[in-house]
Amino acid sequence: MRKYVALLGVISLSIAARAQNISVLYETTVTEKLSGQNVRQVEVAVQPQGAESFWIRLEGTKVDGNIYRVWFLADRLPFATEPKTVAIAHYILQETGREPVEYVDLRTGRAIIPLFDFVGQLIPRTQESIGESLFEKGMYLGLPIVRRSFSAIGDIRPLEKVERLELRGDLLIGTSRNFRDDGQPRKSKQDNYAFVPFTQPEYDEMIAAGINYFVVQKEQADWICHRPVYYEGTSKTIAFPEELYRPNFRGLSMFIDEPACILAGKYPPGSPLSTAVTMIQDHIKKEIDDRGYRNRLEEQGIALGELGLVEPQIPIWETYVETSWYQLQANRVGIIQECRWKITPTGEPDEFLYLQRINQQFGVEIPISPENLFLWSYSSMRGAARAFNAKWGMAIYGQAEPGLRYPSMQLAYDLGAEYLWFWTSDHDHHVPYAEQLALSRRISDYARTHPRDLTALRNKANTAIVLPFGYTLPTSWQLFTWGTHIYPLDKKNDKGLTTLQVLKPAIEEIARCLKDKIQYDICVAGDGLARDRYERIYEVLDNGTVVKK
């Protein structure tokens, strides 16, 4: 035993000194019967690479005998290190019966790693921090493991031909369902469309058009899981744990649905604006603690132990994007606007003619143009996304005027949007499949010939128009704040001023910026506002005064 411990010490030191490749075999210590999908042993191989990196290979053997392999090049040994401090330069996955695949970001050329906390949950980890060495006992995929053997080893880098799968992570073009309309018009506006599931050839058609983000079920997942696209959903027989190791797998939840809309009638009458902030953020925090995929695995009889598997990177899909600041403060992932653009009077109720109603209500003269209509909404999302290092985007709905659909997508792309989506299903909300394809082709072609610097775009606005904490711009349709009659424009604050009086200077400044083609962000006073990132601050206070800096 002493000889064994001494030898282990020599090998551990040699790893730290970058002098030797080693392989360590671990086995699970779980005694109860495991699923055939559970991993019974994992070999960890380490190879120093130059002065500052390590190639690491994981070879997992499942109870059913299937074997998978993962290679990655890390800037340090990650088994006991704080996960967020580990940088990974290459990532390669080999599933049973398939060639190795390296996952690469098409835009940057950098490695793409799995979304489910790869370093924190998907590699063997020590229970106690012991520095840059391997360990005797630890955890892997939620279950306890113990070292059974170790040895020196040769070159561990993948020597076979490695396929390169390039994914575009800065622009997700997607549709909200795994089905489409059948191509036939509705009998009347009161009738719904007829819908049919996507077929395998239609996935080929959509991918060729530039769509790279899908919701799938059952065999649809098998059709696209190895394509250069992202997907939500699983096949009937889940490939565990291989699916977790696919960087293009995004769990089961595409979005958090309309927090501001859901809460619009639930705020206590007469409550202060701070109540709305608290309620919407509490609602969002509950929604992001989503363990739907974990539950699905457990239904398959897979033992998960301490494996958390909270759904990763779920953005918010919202109508009332004027609340973006408060929503992204609680969920620093992203927000997508439901776009039902209207600008042309039709003689019908004008609740959708948003800019016209703002001009009338606040006595301003915002030029009525498609670009100004889009910028009104985008500025609230951009300001919040910039403050909280999140993403933003937009989704086309069937109610949007046809002539406004593509221009709003192109402007969003030019301003740094990373989500361009479509709504499928439900009467007038639905965007026909043929149009989704046409719009996707057009924006994809545009994106290919117009590369972006997202960092520069994120910081492009030099003016911040700052609202008092708790306030939002008037939301679409009713011109209430927070999208609800509970917070109307004539509501008075503790200074005796109505919401309209407080917001009027901000609306006037927005009108000036739009007239003069000045890029601006809508921000909120308090946590998250980085004043030093703007050349000009126009801050509205709840006592009716304005502070300019």
Cα 437 from Cα 418, distance rounded (Å):
18
Domains of the chain, each with CATH number or no CATH: 2-164 (no CATH), 166-458 (3.20.20)
Cα 427 from Cα 422, distance rounded (Å):
14
Judged against a pLDDT cut of 80, whether residue 457 lies above it is answered with yes
Judged against a pLDDT cut of 80, whether residue 2 lies above it is answered with no
pLDDT of residue 494: 96
Which tens digit of pLDDT belongs to each residue from 278-325?
999 999 999 999 999 999 999 999 999 999 999 989 999 999 999 999
DSSP 465: E
pTM, two decimal places:
0.93
Strands of the 256-257 sheet, one edge to the other: 230-232, 213-215, 172-175, 419-422, 391-396, 334-339, 316-318, 256-257
Q: In this structure, what token pair is assigned to residue 89?
A: 């330069």
DSSP codes joined into one string, 286-320: HHH---HHHHHHHHTT---TT---PPP---EEES-
Judged against a pLDDT cut of 50, whether residue 132 lies above it is answered with no
Which tens digit of pLDDT belongs to each residue from 247-286?
999 999 999 999 999 999 999 999 999 999 999 999 999 9
DSSP codes joined into one string, 35-55: -TTSEEEEEEEEEEETTTEEE
Q: What is the mean pLDDT of residues 384-413?
A: 98
Q: C-alpha angle 106/112/117, rounded to 5°? A: 155
Q: In this structure, what token pair is assigned to residue 457?
A: 């775009």
Distances (CA, A) of 430 to 129, 292, 351, 389: 53, 26, 20, 31
94, 69 Cβ separation under 8 angstroms: yes
Q: What is the mean pLDDT of residues 517-538?
A: 96
Which tens digit of pLDDT belongs to each residue from 156-181?
998 778 999 999 999 999 999 999 98
Segment holding 12, helix H or strand E:
helix 2-16
Cα 379 from Cα 258, distance rounded (Å):
19
Average pLDDT value over all residues in the chain: 93
Residue 64: how many CB atoms within 10 A of its CB?
A: 12
Judged against a pLDDT cut of 90, whether residue 368 lies above it is answered with yes
